[in-house]
Structure 1
């Protein structure tokens, strides 16, 4: 015999469950509450009362994260997005704000802030690194699911820029090891070059010598490969303002010189000059293999130059896969 669908009238207001489950979590039974959040929200979703199912999942994710239960909170956060999809909830500012409220509850405990010394137990450091990875993986899973939802239900074609900025911020601040190409991949799909500039300036203050100009060039080329000349220029200006304010030096190298000339060149129809720059600064560009791939994409976007080599696109696909998988 098939199970009957719950009738809408048989379910009480969601707030009753939210209040009861909050007490369960506060009483220390986080795992037990987790199972109830999942089962009860599923009943509301089955009854097509998606708004209340979302209320329950949002409340559950937030309170679990507030209590440091990252795995439980992240699981409920992902279920929140899955319910958005099931309910075919359109992307709008209100729903984006709900996702942001969940995001803001993810703990922020940078490894550098732990002040661990060489005399402390190695196990303590290992546990801290493991916890950081769990936070990043949990938050990333939630935000990537939300980005996919936003792209499929009325948001920008490539996903919400606001969600990309959240993802970039969290990955940068919480990852045990800074992966600036990955962070840049997310930021250039966002809408906040000012914040991106702040992250790059922070990175420049602690990176190895020779990594600062690479980070700036990579960020600019990534923007340009997306046809975003405006934010590429704004990023450079913001970095210059911020390093001057902090009384640091803006990197001076052949690679930075190339980027400066490139930004000027792309503002006019000057494809021969574009090619001349690539030849002149070849040794600098060869410092990172992906740069030439990005420049091929830029040539295609700005000058309509089709690629002749079918193997081209490899590094672009690597960046794409990196964003999807990590």
Structure 2
């Protein structure tokens, strides 16, 4: 007598065989150029499978159908079936798995970059990947999207998705290419500054450190450091060390001493307001940087412990640090 497990396997095999036969007919229809007819048949089968709770079969059929339409440059039909792939994931409450994410990004990569359907698709995919509204999306999905957009040389959107991933190294390498291909030599420090500050605003200290170290090591226009020729890079280096220490007075003095560099982009001080709240205990009501500096910089700086390696305290490329700050006790290791 056939066991229940054997019966289930047999049923699954029959279902798979049925899907393959249907796919064969649909493929033939597309190959003949009967795109509208094939599209409508895909939709009919999707809702039939979904009504029978055959979510996996529906998803596989729509995924393969979308790829088929993309291969025939039928963008609208392909995008529609791609959205049905997402609908099957949503209604099945499917778990987020790497294979699924890779399939979604494959569909994304084939969509017309300028189409509104692509924007709707990625927004819905990110929402599904976190289980609802109000969240930023699965980090792995963000990473895959960032890599895809990087290949398209869509650097600004790639950077956004890298920021919400955990791939600081990938982000840095993309920024090196972005800076080298589209930036001015005088702005090499600004490309990484925005990324470091934004990673910190997202409380991702690890990726902030990785993107800084990788970028400064790999960029052909940056001499090895620290210390660096560019004051802004020195500020970022000090800031990452200060974040580890969590000393508010050190943070305040750094922001004060490096104001000439920080004024290069009006967003820097806004990012630093937020970083002050997250890592240094600054109250939101005191988070405006200029008042904060005037409020906290009155005590003698000789009491600070910036904790710098002794060999760097008198380096000529660190002109923005006051002598009293540089004479503080050093506890960081070489």
Tell me if TM exceeds 0.5: yes
CA distance, structure 1, for counterparts of residue 81 and residue 196 of structure 2? 36
- The answer to whether the 8 Å contact 1:143/1:163 transfers is no
- The answer to whether the 8 Å contact 1:60/1:73 transfers is yes
Match of 2:146 in 1: 168
CA distance, structure 2, for counterparts of residue 216 and residue 151 of structure 1? 28
Corresponding residue pairs, total: 270
Give the superposition deviation at 1:172: 4.0
Aligned mate of 2:31, from 26, 34, 54: 26
Going from structure 1 to structure 2, the CA distance change for 1:234 and 1:11 (only over 3 Å counts) comes to closer
Match of 1:240 in 2: 216
Name the TM-score, length of structure 1 as normaliser.
0.72
Match of 2:47 in 1: 42
CA distance, structure 1, for counterparts of residue 57 and residue 243 of structure 2? 51
Kindly provide the CA deviation profile for residues 237-272 of structure 1, in whole angstroms up to 9, marking residues without a partner as x: 2223333xxx54358432222111111111112211
Give the superposition deviation at 1:58: 0.8
Kindly provide the CA deviation profile for residues 295-317 of structure 1, in whole angstroms up to 9, marking residues without a partner as x: 122112212322117999xxxxx
Match of 2:190 in 1: 214
Match of 2:199 in 1: 223
Kindly provide the CA deviation profile for residues 27-52 of structure 1, in whole angstroms up to 9, marking residues without a partner as x: 33334322322222122112221111
Match of 1:300 in 2: 277
CA distance, structure 2, for counterparts of residue 207 and residue 11 of structure 1? 50
- The answer to whether the 8 Å contact 1:11/1:44 transfers is no
Aligned mate of 1:59, from 37, 56, 64: 64
Match of 1:95 in 2: 100
Going from structure 1 to structure 2, the CA distance change for 1:258 and 1:143 (only over 3 Å counts) comes to same
Name the TM-score, length of structure 2 as normaliser.
0.71
CA distance, structure 2, for counterparts of residue 164 and residue 44 of structure 1? 30
Match of 1:143 in 2: 122
Match of 1:249 in 2: 222
CA distance, structure 2, for counterparts of residue 311 and residue 300 of structure 1? 10
Give the superposition deviation at 1:292: 1.9
Report the 3-state secondary structure (helix = DSSP H, G, I; strand = E; otherwise coil) of the residue aligned with 1:68.
coil
Going from structure 1 to structure 2, the CA distance change for 1:310 and 1:228 (only over 3 Å counts) comes to closer
CA distance, structure 2, for counterparts of residue 211 and residue 36 of structure 1? 54
Relative contact order (alpha carbons < 8 A, sep ≥ 6): 1 or 2 greater? 1
Give the superposition deviation at 1:103: 4.2
Report the 3-state secondary structure (helix = DSSP H, G, I; strand = E; otherwise coil) of the residue aligned with 1:266.
helix
Q: Which runs of 5 or more residues in structure 2 are unaligned?
A: 1-13, 290-334
CA distance, structure 2, for counterparts of residue 198 and residue 67 of structure 1? 34
Going from structure 1 to structure 2, the CA distance change for 1:199 and 1:46 (only over 3 Å counts) comes to same
- The answer to whether the 8 Å contact 2:30/2:38 transfers is yes
Counterpart check, 1:133 vs 2:114: yes
Give the superposition deviation at 1:219: 0.5
CA distance, structure 2, for counterparts of residue 20 and residue 311 of structure 1? 65
Match of 2:262 in 1: 285
CA distance, structure 1, for counterparts of residue 173 and residue 83 of structure 2? 29
Match of 1:203 in 2: 178
Q: Which runs of 5 or more residues in structure 1 are unaligned?
A: 1-8, 108-130, 313-326
Going from structure 1 to structure 2, the CA distance change for 1:50 and 1:266 (only over 3 Å counts) comes to same
With 77-86 and 283-292 compared, the bigger mean Cα shift is at 283-292
CA distance, structure 1, for counterparts of residue 255 and residue 141 of structure 2? 34
- The answer to whether the 8 Å contact 1:225/1:297 transfers is yes
Instruction: From the CA coordinates, give the structure whose radius of gyration is larger.
Output: 2
Match of 1:152 in 2: 131
Going from structure 1 to structure 2, the CA distance change for 1:202 and 1:71 (only over 3 Å counts) comes to farther
